[in-house]
A = this chain, B = another copy of it.
Amino acid sequence: MSLADAAREYAATHKQLFNEQLIELVRIPSVSAESQHKNDVKRAAEWIARDLQNAGAENIQVIPTEGHPIIYADWLHAENNAKTVLIYGHYDVQPAAKEDNWNTEPFEPTVIEGVLYARGSSDDKGQMFVHLKALESYLKTSGSLPVNVKFVLEGEEEISSKHLMGFVSENKDLLKADVCIISDTGSQEIEQPAIVTGIRGLTYMEIWVYGPKDDLHSGGFGGIVHNPALGLAQILSKMHNPDNSISIPGFYDDIVNLSEEDRANLARTDVDEQDLKELTGIAATWGEAGFSLRERLGARPTFEVNGILSGWTGEGSKTVLPAKAMAKVSCRLVVNQNPQKIYELVRDYVAQITPPTLRSDVKLLSTGSPALMESDLPEVQAAARAYTRGWGKEPVFMREGGSIPIVVDFQRELQLPVIMMGYGLNSDGAHGPNEHFSLEMFHRGIQTAICFLDEISR
């Protein structure tokens, strides 16, 4: 029996134990954004370190940062110049509270019909844990792996990975590898696994509009002073053309046009309109004319309003003419848009359309670059074969709407391809209420991860 086959059998016979362990892990409320959970984040890191220890990993370190710890571990005894695989994951989770429309307590894991409901079950504890169990399955059977493996698991992904890249830059030798695997994405359905080959970049900004120096009484000044909240609405309304394309001059200049082949590939993973309506409760889809839903989501940029605040927003009627108004806005970007250049285009356009009756300012908050992976890369092909063997179905290549800044950062800093092997579903409810993770996907993920370590060794 091959190493991989022995590992696969071990994984198949230990499903119940793996489920129980995952339930233990998601029970820890490792919410990185909330200081009252600082110790819970640490507790989760220590729990994972013990699990790695039990699996047979070596050089296990829980490395403190100014924020939450980074976990490092490896196993480097593969024979004959074997490749090294770097596995990234994160064990911190988004905030969650039952009153935010959860049907169950977010940190009291509940299994209903084979689906595990808990914050972090899919994003990313469940998907990350797949790789720990693949490692364990090899080492508990053969005491060996076909490749070298390194783990880098962070506790700050949900708060912009504040200290990860500093750690990576200072530890390039420690993290040196031939390929990096990230499992933090989803497919459309269980029976159709997906390798994400495209992710969008991000330029996140605040638009501020200023009018009078103080809030004014809307009776005493309404009609002769331009209202900044109205002005902000007027500015935001000029960001799109009637066909929902973005009207910022130069915005589309650097985009690589979709070829016929690209469009044909994207069509294979198009978003089902009915599914989307059911999932989100919207009455009708929206977006840029002339593009399919998948193209709008994965291959076209956006201008989104993430938040607005101005004036009186409490109970009842307060007749204020506000002094200022603010919108949080962000653009999702596609190759080859440059996040900094997009900020400058937005800033200049807002300045241009701000009327002389108001003042405005656009502040840059954060950026992330878009990425697109060629599907014929050998590492992507190895991942595809791993799904075919381990999941039981050939994967599709998908372009995602979200941004995973560390993909681009890892590629740049460590000079290696980053492959996004997702084990979740887009409908898992990451960041929302009732986050969940199919235990069937968990186990098919472990089988796939075992096969990947085998396929990449060839």
A residues engaging B (CB < 8 A)? 101, 160, 200, 202, 204, 211-227, 229-230, 232-234, 236-240, 271, 276, 280-288, 293, 296-297, 300-313, 316-322, 325-328, 330, 332, 355-359, 365-366, 400-403, 426, 430-433
CB-nearest residue of chain B relative to A326? B313
B223 touching A300 by the CB < 8 A rule? yes
B310 touching A280 by the CB < 8 A rule? no
CA A212 – CA B301 in complex, angstroms?
20
- Most chain B beta carbons < 10 A, residue from A160, A319, A365: A319
CB distance from A225 to the nearest CB of B (A): 6
CB-nearest residue of chain B relative to A229? B305
> A226-B286, A283-B357 are known contacts; what are 9 more A-B pairs with Cβ within 8 Å?
A213-B280, A217-B430, A222-B302, A225-B276, A237-B237, A306-B312, A307-B311, A309-B313, A313-B328
CA A408 – CA B4 in complex, angstroms?
86
- Taking CB atoms, residues of chain B closer than 8 Å to A282 are 211-212, 225-226, 357
Q: A317-B204, A356-B284 are in contact. Are A309 and B306 (CB under 8 A)?
A: no
CA A433 – CA B430 in complex, angstroms?
45
Pick from B219, B239, B359, B400: contact of A283, CB under 8 Å: B359
Q: A218-B332, A313-B328 are in contact. Are A237 and B229 (CB under 8 A)?
A: no
CA A376 – CA B276 in complex, angstroms?
67
CA A38 – CA B112 in complex, angstroms?
52
CB distance from A207 to the nearest CB of B (A): 11
B306 touching A319 by the CB < 8 A rule? yes
- Taking CB atoms, residues of chain B closer than 8 Å to A234 are 233, 236-237
CB distance from A204 to the nearest CB of B (A): 4
Pick from B219, B318, B400: contact of A200, CB under 8 Å: B219
A101 touching B214 by the CB < 8 A rule? yes
B319 touching A202 by the CB < 8 A rule? yes
CB distance from A54 to the nearest CB of B (A): 34
CA A199 – CA B224 in complex, angstroms?
16
Pick from B223, B238, B313: contact of A308, CB under 8 Å: B313
- Taking CB atoms, residues of chain B closer than 8 Å to A332 are 218-219, 222-223
- Taking CB atoms, residues of chain B closer than 8 Å to A330 are 218, 317, 319
B402 touching A217 by the CB < 8 A rule? yes
- Most chain B beta carbons < 10 A, residue from A238, A271, A313, A430: A313
Pick from B215, B280, B283, B312: contact of A328, CB under 8 Å: B312
A287 touching B223 by the CB < 8 A rule? yes
A227 touching B304 by the CB < 8 A rule? yes
CB distance from A33 to the nearest CB of B (A): 9
- Taking CB atoms, residues of chain B closer than 8 Å to A271 are 224
B317 touching A328 by the CB < 8 A rule? yes
CB-nearest residue of chain B relative to A215? B432
